[in-house]
Chain A
């Protein structure tokens, strides 16, 4: 089973700043890595797949990078609405696993 470790656990930034979220896999997942955003009381929202391809309707402020075992989700020019928990997910094979999440706070 692939274990995904996200860091930091919590990130606190101000509007307009850049957020860099990390996801590390216990073994190579190629680029089979997705990202989701979840706000309290809501279902997850699909952001990114294939490590760097934005989902439909996701603004260009969100970008993804990486391959193998190290991945990054970058949110440039933060907005208050970006406050949420972000999860990475691999899909190389079953079992599908998610990271434990990074909570992004906007000051």
Chain B
């Protein structure tokens, strides 16, 4: 069964860093564009960042630009989200999601990992 599995979430103080990982099982991540999408408690979906198959193109939401970095290690079949200068408003479930070919729609999602930013 094809799966995306996120890890690395947890409780962090405002201003602190955290790195999320996403592993693919049953799929070779290097074949796909990938994204991070988040969902604050009780709220809707918010696109965070996207990365091209080879990592040569990256796109970020304005709300995280300059603070978050999306990256990938295709040899390890892993996707990352390095989050720095975290704010209370970054508290959310973070999903990694696979794009459908070159189309920026998400046909496979992980189960999500919770990030809580609080003092």
Q: Which residues of A contact B (CB under 8 A)?
A: 34, 36, 38, 43-46, 49, 55-56, 87, 89, 91, 94-101
Question: Known interface pairs A49-B100, A49-B103. Does A98 touch B47 (Cβ–Cβ under 8 Å)?
Answer: yes
**Measured between C-beta atoms, what is the minimum distance from B33 to chain A in Å?**
11
8 new A-B contacts, CB < 8 A, other than A49-B100, A91-B104, A101-B44, are A43-B109, A43-B110, A46-B100, A87-B45, A95-B62, A96-B35, A97-B47, A98-B46
- How far apart are the CA atoms of A87 and B97 in the complex, in Å? 15
Q: How many Å lie between the Cα of A24 and that of B29 in the bound state?
A: 33
17 CB contacts below 8 A, A to B, read A34-B106, A36-B106, A43-B111, A44-B95, A44-B109, A49-B103, A56-B107, A89-B45, A91-B103, A91-B104, A91-B105, A94-B50, A95-B47, A98-B44, A98-B46, A98-B47, A101-B44
Q: When A43-B110, A46-B105, A49-B103 are in contact, do A95 and B61 touch as well, CB less than 8 Å?
A: yes
Residue numbers in A under 8 Å from B44 (CB-CB): 87, 98-101
In Å, the complex CA distance between A43 and B106 comes to 11
Let me know if B25 is at the binding interface, CB within 8 A: no
Interface residues of chain B: helix, strand, loop or mixed (majority): strand
Complex Cα–Cα for A98 and B104 (A): 12
